[in-house]
Amino acid sequence: MLERRNNPPPVPSNPTRQNGNNDNDLMTKLANLLALAATGGLLATTASAKDFPEGSPEFETDYKKATAASKGSGKPMLVVFSASWCPPCQANKKKVYPSDPVKAYHDKFVWVYLDTDKKENQNVASEFGVRGIPHIQFVGADGKAIDKAVGGTSPDRFAAKLKSVLEKAAPEKAGA
């Protein structure tokens, strides 16, 4: 019968000098892995707003710039809180925003796409009480919330929502 030992393997006196290397292999590999992961994550989140299908509205990814554009144009903002890992978000992105019923509204809003995984978007998400995604927040040119839509949707339902939001925003626009 084999005897079971619970003793860990011996640890070298200087783990960084294993195999005769003193270039801190383990730490170098770990640093490289972390750098690669960070770069990959950055590339994935940076590309998320730029990889919309043909026929999609033009999305701004900077909330402050979008707010200024909305104020300057008088158009309400349509702020999409989303993430690359969210299936309903990706379905909206691929099938709803570029759809024919929604295209009629592309020039009626300042379209904003904010990845909720990016730190710089978390305060805005918190400001609008985003608890789940996709969360589409409609904001007047004055910065006040008009309406919201949460969850996946169809092109026709989303187009109807856009029409409704424009009707709600019209009195504000007329008073401006």
Within the chain, strands assigned E span 59-60, 77-82, 110-115, 135-139, 145-150
Active site residue 86: yes
For 144, which DSSP code?
A: -
Q: What torsion do the CA atoms of 105, 171, 142, 138 make, to the nearest 10 degrees?
A: -40
- Which H or E run contains 43? helix 25-47
Catalytic member of 86, 96, 130, 159: 86
Active site residue 89: yes
Dist. CA 121–CA 81, nearest whole Å: 9
Catalytic member of 77, 89, 114, 124: 89
Tokens of 124: 């805005």
Indicate which residues carry an active-site annotation: 86, 89
